Structure 1
Amino acid sequence: MSVRALSFGAMAEAYERFRPGYSAELFDKVTAYAGRPVRTALEIGAGTGKATRLFAGRGVSVTATEPDAAMLAELRKHVPERVRTVRAAFEDLRPGARYGLVYAAAALHWTNPEGRWPRVAALLEPGAVFASFGGPIQPADPAVEEAVRAARAPFLESDGVPSPDGTPAGHAMQWPGTELQRSDWFTDVRQTVIERRLTVSAADYVGHLSTVSAYLVLPATEQQQVFDRIMRVLPEAVEVDADITVHLARRRHEP
């Protein structure tokens, strides 16, 4: 697991405060794709439980896994008691129970690519569903986005997470759909986008950036400098694009 993947724990409370949650539309898309009631789910890299609440709140029996103790402690403050929590990285999970759904919310890119898909498949009932969803949060106004880019430039060329398999940003099918399409373990790969636009205060937008791994791995003095620079170029209210890209796939009955 990379340094960036392990950078979130110290910011668990900020992650909970500044990261947006997930809507009922996402749940509906996943269950419509499943084509049958989803009763059990395993969550990869649950963080503070933003997605856990969505699925558990609609009656799914969720096992939420998360390697970071601080994130898991924050999650336990906010999720129903019936949610089972496991402190473990995805790679450390041992085959055993199988689930009707395995999903990852803005966390799959932190998992080890070696054996990723056989490992996911081993956790799924035949014909059951894998879902991955997330997306960047960026200023909707191109002028504001450019001002933020210029402000962070002395410290960071980009604050995004590069595609794990090198898929270009403009490609019709994005990662992890690209890998799922190549995997013998999965079929019926679909990609859909839930459009979402939010308005946040300048302080809350910078608060969100404080939970982004590219900033978290900077030295503390540089973090403060870059956040101060960005704060100075933001309008009082920041309209942001926060679209959620959803990838869905079905475990084959036989690989």
Structure 2
Amino acid sequence: MVERALSFGAAAAAYERFRTGYPDELVDKVLEYAGRTVNTALEIGAGTGKATRVFAATGIAVTATEPDAAMLEQLRKHVPSSVTAVQGAFEDLPLTSTFDLVFAAASLHWTDPTDRWTRVSALLNPGGIFVSFNRPLYLADKDLDEAVRVARSEFLEDDGIPPPDGTSEEWPGTELRRSDRFTDVRRTSVERRTTLTAAGYIGHLSTLSAYLLLRSTTREQVFERIATVLPDEVTLISDLTLHLARRS
């Protein structure tokens, strides 16, 4: 897991180019849940800052943390000057500052579960909120999805990351509900469909850890095989699932 977590730096520029951004509706749902003014926020594992940007655009003072130097370099190029960028893993962040909001965009599964919720709680102001959201992209055409699976199967059976407790729709809500540090745990979603060119879809795959861990020659071979089964454009299901909680 650690090896996969640290694999993205080699593809930081591709990550910025090919990973899709986040919609304003995401921030609307978070602020509606908060029910009060959110002035400060901390992002865990910000990558190139795609989620940071939509929160910062509302005037929230965001501190974006990211352990990988190459990813952080891309982030600094693309976020507004109001964002504070900090290199560091979640587990190493000093617990000397607190925020109205702590959020993780498709990064929470990379954090150490040992004291995950103790640390999140310690980083929140009283009554502050935590939100985790992810956006796995799936080919809407099931036959095409199967064709892609077959095309890569000689080298890679699965290109995803199973959630820690095996229930992608319910995690991390399952853990938040068990923790006495949080209350008012909710799950909601933002429905989205994304259309990419075949080249754009291959570019997206090139940013996934499962492919990044392949040898470069093998990775190119896999992409060539996948490209042979793709139409000119593909439609992906890119719904966001949000898990929200309030510090007790």
TM-score range, shorter chain: over 0.9
* 1:166 Cα deviation after fit: 2.5
Q: Deviations over 1:132-154 (max 9, x none)?
A: 11121111011111111111111
* 1:174 Cα deviation after fit: 1.4
Q: Deviations over 1:167-223 (max 9, x none)?
A: 3x5xxx511111111111111111111110011100000100000011111111111
4+ residue stretches of structure 1 with deviation over 6 A?
none
Partner residue in 2 for 1:189: 185
State the alpha-carbon separation in 1 of the partners of residues 188 and 225 from structure 2: 35
DSSP-derived class of the 2:170 partner: coil
The residue type paired with residue 120 of structure 1 is: V
State the alpha-carbon separation in 1 of the partners of residues 113 and 144 from structure 2: 35
Query: TM-score of the superposition, structure 1-length normalised?
Result: 0.95
State the alpha-carbon separation in 2 of the partners of residues 190 and 101 from structure 1: 15
* 1:92 Cα deviation after fit: 0.2
DSSP-derived class of the 1:4 partner: helix
**Pairwise CA RMSD:** 0.9
Matches within 5 A, 1:68-79: 68-79=68-79
State the alpha-carbon separation in 1 of the partners of residues 202 and 173 from structure 2: 30
Query: TM-score of the superposition, structure 2-length normalised?
Result: 0.98
Is 2:239 the counterpart of 1:243?
yes
Corresponding residue to 1:179 among 172, 175, 180: 175
Is 2:197 the counterpart of 1:201?
yes
DSSP-derived class of the 1:62 partner: strand
Corresponding residue pairs, total: 248
DSSP-derived class of the 1:26 partner: helix
* 1:239 Cα deviation after fit: 0.7
State the alpha-carbon separation in 1 of the partners of residues 225 and 177 from structure 2: 42
Partner residue in 1 for 2:156: 156
- Identity among equivalent positions (%) equals 64
The residue type paired with residue 106 of structure 1 is: A
Matches within 5 A, 1:12-27: 12-27=12-27
Partner residue in 1 for 2:102: 102
